[in-house]
Amino acid sequence: MSLPLRTVSGMRPTGPLHLGHYFGAIKNWVALQDEMQCLYFVADWHALTSEFEDPQRIREFVPELVKDWIVSGLDPEKCVIFQQSMVKEHAELTLLLSMITPVSWLERNPTYKEQQQEITTKDLSNFGFLGYPVLMAADILMYRPKWVPVGQDQLPHLELTREIARRFNSLYGGYFPEPEARLTPAAKCPGLDGRKMSKSYGNSIMLREPLEEIAPKVRGMFTDKNRLRRSDPGNPSVCNLYPYHELMTDAATREEICKGCTSATFGCVDCKKIFMQSLARFLEPLHERRAELEKNPDFVQDVLSDGNKRARVVARETMEGVRERIGFNFKE
Ligand code: TRP
């Protein structure tokens, strides 16, 4: 870990990863591994803020998430992969930051308001869920990064992190750099039905899904709604399938697709066949790597144990500085 800058990011272990996660976040995480010291963690405490009634599910998804990361290209030799709840310093820092975080900041948080309104199937009136951004601020500030690779949806949380850092610095003396968002270059990866790709909409292609199971879903997928007959010319810029070609099909083939589609010499069925080929080229190596990983049942645990240790070294150092600044560095 001799690279000059450090970055940190996390994901909640709430389900298998899909293409939207890959193109929206992980691809960027993989690229960053060669640029700076990267710490990526499984945010299992964050998952617990809303899934506390079913913690067993979180437990199952922890190793699955790590497998999805590794098959996608995160390399435990290059980055630190760890589990949030195994680095207890995150809890202590959350507690200390909670002292200086006004409740009004949390109540104003747009994600909080939105989820409280939209998710009616779960009870989200708990203290931990309101405090979600404080835990997230602790996750980030612990590693004193300059940048944090996050999606657009996490910007309000990052802004709160910066406000909390500022408050800490002004109360106790400058300590935390204010981290900036490093937005993932916007990758358009809609769901199969044109809405956002999301596990809860059932419109996703999972990274670990066998191609035979994906094929019928692709056959039923929306394309250009205005192209009703094979003889109608289509328009790739309003087509729901075309963005996938932009992510996975080479430029020369894309050109052919566009020509064929706009001149109606080429149908949506043909286009979907090419897409299945592109998808196979993309997913098959991931599936092969997953099969390799499954052969070694200890591997994921070893990666996490090693990552937890490495994260703790940084976390302990940060906490010493934090306690010292607050004057809570008591002797035993
Ligand atoms: N809230 C993030 C999400 O839902 C996950 C997360 C938790 C995170 N802690 C973080 C992301 C720290 C970046 C940095 O996607």
Q: How far is the CA of 136 from the centre of ligand 1 (A)?
A: 6
State whether the beta carbon of 150 lies less than 6 angstroms from ligand 1.
yes
d(CA 274, CA 272) in angstroms, rounded, equals 5
Pocket lining: 192 vs ligand 1, CB cutoff 6 Å: no
140 lines ligand 1 (CB under 6 A): yes
Instruction: Look at the block and give the residue holding tokens 């930051």.
Output: 97
Q: Which pTM does this prediction carry? A: 0.94
Residue nearest to atom 14 of ligand 1 (CA): 9
From the CA of 122, how far away is ligand 1's center (Å)?
20
Helix (H) or strand (E) holding 74: none
Q: Ligand 1 in contact with 139 (CB < 6 A)?
A: yes
What Å distances lie between residue 100 and 50, 135, 272, CA to CA? 24, 13, 54
- The enclosing H or E element of 123 equals none
Is the CB of residue 261 less than 8 Å from the CB of residue 241? Answer: no
Backbone angles phi, psi at 193, to 5 degrees: -100, 5
* pLDDT string in tens for the chain (332-residue length): 456 789 999 999 999 999 999 999 999 999 999 999 999 999 999 999 999 999 999 999 999 999 999 999 999 999 999 999 999 999 999 999 999 999 999 999 998 888 888 888 888 999 999 999 999 999 999 999 999 999 888 999 999 999 999 999 999 999 999 999 988 776 788 899 888 888 878 899 999 999 999 999 999 998 999 998 999 999 999 999 999 999 999 999 999 999 999 999 989 999 999 999 999 999 999 999 999 999 998 999 999 999 999 999 999 999 999 999 999 999 99
Ligand 1 centre to CA of 238 (Å) is 32
Determine which residue's CA is closest to atom 13 belonging to ligand 1: 9
Q: Could you give the domains of the chain?
A: 6-188+297-326 (3.40.50.620), 211-292 (1.10.240.10)
Whether ligand 1 lies within 6 angstroms of the CB of 109 is answered as no
Tell me how far the alpha carbon of residue 43 lies from the centroid of ligand 1, in angstroms.
7
- Its sign, for the CA torsion 28, 89, 107, 125, is positive
